[in-house]
Amino acid sequence: MAAGRSTVGVAAADHSALLVDDEARLVDDEPVQGIGDLTEHAAGRDFLLDAESFWQVHPAAADTLVGAVLDGLRPGPGERVFDLFCGVGLFTGALVDAGCRAWGVEWSKSAITHARHNVPEARFTAAKVDRALRTLPKRTDLVVLDPPRAGAGRTVVNAVLTRRPRAIAYVACDPAAFARDLRRALDGGYRPTSLRAFDLFPMTHHLEVVAILEPETSAEA
């Protein structure tokens, strides 16, 4: 291989591929082109993505996390939901299929291109989440937060809390960042009504957490 070039091996539900820089080819040398370079299946849908898109490593993780989010939020037909840090639309698709009016936000334009293809029934915005929240509707029934390891952060959490959703699903991959954001939610009048941990990375110290947060009055009812 020429100096400076890199190879990435990708295993997806539809095939395995070797990618050299921006060129992709199947292991059996049949070329793959376009948005559908890779396909994953979860939550009753096919999701098209590329090698740089985020997807859970554990093969059962996507369905497991979707199930935990839906169980916790109990979404109803017609409810509005923000899917923040939505990636290629995994949770957005599940919420649309539950009858919600979903709006996904993700900073990656590539991810949003895939999300619009994967979940054409939803609305999507390609922007940093804190900036997008300045222009999104001021009320919503539900929120899904699935931030990167650094967490959602003060600005995003505060902007979510001001909208007073009836429930928030926080999907966390870093306990410390989650604890900081949970403290902000507690100070803003929200309490965890459910907290589930999933060992999606066996033989490591990493855990994935799904927390359901509801207004304090609802949690005490």
Q: Mean pLDDT score of the chain, rounded to an integer? A: 85
Q: Which of 115, 173, 182, 211 is catalytic?
A: 173
State the average pLDDT over residues 153-172.
98
Distance of alpha carbon 160 from alpha carbon 145, whole angstroms: 9
In tens, the pLDDT along 91-136 reads: 999 999 999 999 999 999 999 999 999 999 999 999 999 999 999 9
pLDDT at 220 (0 to 100): 47
CATH topology of domain 61-220: Rossmann fold (3.40.50)
Dihedral angle at the C-alpha atoms of 73, 77, 82, 86, nearest 10 degrees? Answer: 80
**42-72, pLDDT tens digit by residue?**
999 999 988 777 777 777 889 999 999 999 9
| Per-residue pLDDT at 28 | 39
Report the run of H or E that residue 17 belongs to, with start and end.
strand 16-20
Give residue-wise pLDDT tens across range 175-184.
899 999 999 9
Domain boundaries, the chain: 7-49, 61-220
7: confidence class by pLDDT, cuts 50, 70, 90: very low
Residue 210 in this model has a pLDDT that exceeds 90: yes
By the 10 Å C-beta count (0-12 exposed, 13-18 middle, 19+ buried), 81 is classed as buried
Is residue 100 annotated as a catalytic residue, yes or no? no
- Residue 58 or 139, more confident: 139
- How far apart are alpha carbons 124 and 2 in whole angstroms? 39
Residue 3 pLDDT level (bands cut at 50, 70, 90):
low
The tokens for 121 are: 């029934």
Q: How large is the average pLDDT for residues 195-207?
A: 83
* Continuous H helices in 15-173: 61-73, 90-97, 109-118, 129-132, 154-162
Please give the pLDDT value at position 67. 97
- Residue range 24-36, pLDDT digits in tens: 444 334 444 444 6
According to the model, what pLDDT value does residue 32 have? 41
- Determine the pLDDT at residue 12: 53
pLDDT of 21 above 70: no
Distance between CA atoms of residues 209 and 174, nearest Å = 8
